[in-house]
Amino acid sequence: MKKMLIMMTSLMLALPIMAQYGRPSRMNSSRYGHYHQPPRQYRHTDVYYGLRIGGSFSTVSSDDPYLDGGSLRAGLNVGAVIGWQVAPQTPVYFETGLSYVEKGGEGHNNGAKFTYDLDYLEVPLVLKYNGMTRSGVRIQPFVGGYLAVGVGGKIKDFGNRHAYSSFDDVGFKRFDGGVKVGCGLQYDYLYAEVGYDFGLSNISHDYFDTSHTGALFATIGVNF
């Protein structure tokens, strides 16, 4: 966790520097005219790169009362993305990348509190519409999916005062996937977005129970 806090602090300090000295965002490229003026048309296939940092509030819904974490759990979200136009002269982009995402949940079982953290490496796979306004703000709704693999986390049973890995045989499966929807806003280099991950994969080991993740997330960053 300390390493992730150091990474988050370093990235937050670096964002203004990269925004000042980085190359112009391709989605704000001068070939579209001056800044704050929407282009008449798309002339070339466009590519952009971005950095993201933010947080999420997640839950895990499960048929197993011991693993049903309906209370919100806060976590970190940090990563990098790349996007490109799906075809020339269209305002639609395909975006992917790699993020470290902290999900999880908490609840009570037989009166005793339990919490668990689910730390993932996640790959987004979304289509993003790049809508342009005369004010210079670009509205970018997106929809698609994500694939994730668990890399760490602990389940804490406060009743028995016991902690163990979130991804062992009595915890959850490592692989997750689902639907990602949301909307972003871009102004020059600066970018912000909010969205929701709907977990569709059953991450429960039990054949008779199902467990699904869900997370509301918000990130800020820069696009180049």
Q: DSSP characters for the chain?
A: -HHHHHHHHHHHHHHHHHHHHSPPPGGG-GGG-STTS--S---S--EEEEEEEEEEEEEEEESSTTT-EEEEEEEEEEEEEEEEESSTT--EEEEEEEEEEEEEEEEEETTEEEEEEEEEEEEEEEEEE-EE-TTSEEEEEEEEEEEEEEEE-EEEETTTTEEEETTSTTSB-SEEEEEEEEEEEEETTEEEEEEEEEE-S--BS-SS--EEEEEEEEEEEEE-
Query: What average pLDDT is seen over the chain?
Result: 83
Share of the chain above pLDDT 70, in %: 80
The predicted model gives 131-145 an average pLDDT of 94
Evaluate if residue 160 carries a pLDDT over 60.
yes
pTM here is: 0.79
pLDDT band of residue 69 (cuts 50, 70, 90) is confident
Which of 110 and 72 is assigned the larger pLDDT?
Answer: 72
pLDDT at position 208 is 77
Residue 53 tokens read as 């940092």
pLDDT at position 198 is 97
pLDDT at position 27 is 52
**Lowest mean pLDDT segment, chosen from 7-21, 39-53, 127-141:** 7-21
The predicted model gives 34-63 an average pLDDT of 75
pLDDT at position 134 is 86
Q: What distance in Å separates the CA atoms of residue 140 and residue 183, rounded to the nearest whole number?
A: 6
Evaluate if residue 12 carries a pLDDT over 90.
no
Q: What distance in Å separates the CA atoms of residue 153 and residue 148, rounded to the nearest whole number?
A: 14
The predicted model gives 3-24 an average pLDDT of 46
Evaluate if residue 20 carries a pLDDT over 50.
no
Q: What distance in Å separates the CA atoms of residue 164 and residue 168, rounded to the nearest whole number?
A: 8
pLDDT at position 161 is 83
pLDDT band of residue 9 (cuts 50, 70, 90) is very low
Evaluate if residue 164 carries a pLDDT over 70.
yes
- pLDDT by residue (tens digit) across 78-123? 999 999 999 988 999 999 999 999 999 888 877 788 888 999 999 9
What phi-psi label fits residue 188: left (phi over 0), alpha (psi between -120 and 50 degrees) or beta? Answer: left
